[in-house]
Structure 1
């Protein structure tokens, strides 16, 4: 057990980014109306982001399209579901928004594929 904690702590020491996780779900307003929308699940959680090597933008007549895959590394204690909106804040304050894929849990961390689609 001590070894597992030490390994998790070593991995988490490489998490230089912060993540906010939001999930689209139903909720009840204080006046008892049921609505749907994104609700905060986690905020300011340490993470690391790794970008895949495929092309990340497409030149078009209109706005350039950004489309690439990335991978989020974070604590296995976070329950992240496919379709969750993940906003990653880099060390310099820059933010990027992604959609989560299916998480792959390990004993000391989890890896979550992310998709970024946006206009430049």
Structure 2
């Protein structure tokens, strides 16, 4: 059941952007299609406007402990960050997302940069295609 829901998340994310003429939408389709063979089942994609949000299976882009966020900022700059929910001192409820690490990439290198942060999110080695 969870595997089917995770596969549907990939389909839904790709379908959301496929027919949009915006450059950010087209980059998202390219990234999702390039990442899917290696990362489906290991991470779950969600969307927020033109941002891609990756979490572990069982989480969503809006209910998570950690997520990777991908944003096309300009023609030659993609922002990729790993965020983590951090508890408040003396409490157990989250204070909100904190950027743990991140980088900028050119669109042609974005897949590699995203994968480096997905490895931190999902753990283990990069999945083989």
TM-score, with structure 1 as normaliser? 0.30
TM-score, with structure 2 as normaliser? 0.29
Higher relative contact order (CA 8 A, sep 6+): 1
**Which structure has the highest helix share of the two?**
2
Larger Rg: 1
